[in-house]
Amino acid sequence: MSGAFRKIDIDIYDEDVLHEEELYTADPRDPAEVVAAAKQKQGTVRSALSRSDIPGALSIALDSVPYGPNVDDAKLITLQVLLTIMNSTKSTDIPNVLKALSPEEQDTLMKYLYKGMATSGNDVSGSVLLDWHEKLTEVAGLGCIVRTMTDRRTV
C-alpha cells in the first residue's frame, strides 16, 4: 500500500476550509512596532513596580498584548514582564490584585501563566506560577480556564 495519498492537500479543493488567519484578527502593526511597544511597556511596568503599584503594572502589561504571527519577540518580552510582576508580588496581595483586573485581563493572564509553565528557564519558579494559577481560578472561576484553552489567539 502506497503512502502517496498523504501528500495531497485536499483542503485546497474545499471552499469552506478554515484558515488560521481567519480565526482572529492579528495585530495590524508592523512587527518592529509591536516589539517597540512591548519594550516601552516594559519600562512603564518597571516604573510602576518601583512605586509598588502592582495592580497598575499588571494592567499595563495586560493591555493590548501582542497576538498573531511574526511577533514572537514582543510575546517573549511581555511574558518576561509578567513573570517579573508575579515574582515581585507577595502571596497575600495576589487576590486583591486579581480582583482589580477585568475579566478579559484575567483570561489573558491565565494564558501567560500557562505559557510560563510551558517554557523552561524562567526567572520564576513553578510554585509561584501555580500559586498565581490557584488564586486566579478562585477569583475568575473555572470559566477562565475554559476560555483560555478554547481561544485561538496565542500569546
64-92 confidence digits (pLDDT tens): 899 888 899 999 999 999 999 999 999 99
Q: What distance in Å separates the CA atoms of residue 95 and residue 76, rounded to the nearest whole number?
A: 25
Q: What distance in Å separates the CA atoms of residue 56 and residue 148, rounded to the nearest whole number?
A: 22
Cell of 113: 501563566
Q: Tell me how far CA of residue 82 lies from CA of 10, 24, 75, 116, 128, in angstroms.
A: 42, 23, 11, 9, 12
The whole-number pLDDT of residue 12 equals: 76
Q: What is the pLDDT of residues 20-58, one digit of tens each?
A: 777 777 778 899 999 999 999 999 999 999 999 999 999
pLDDT confidence band for 122 (50 / 70 / 90): low
The whole-number pLDDT of residue 124 equals: 75
Higher-confidence position of 153 and 73: 73
pLDDT confidence band for 120 (50 / 70 / 90): confident
The whole-number pLDDT of residue 119 equals: 87
Q: What is the pLDDT of residues 92-109, one digit of tens each?
A: 999 999 999 999 999 999
pLDDT greater than 70 at residue 5? no
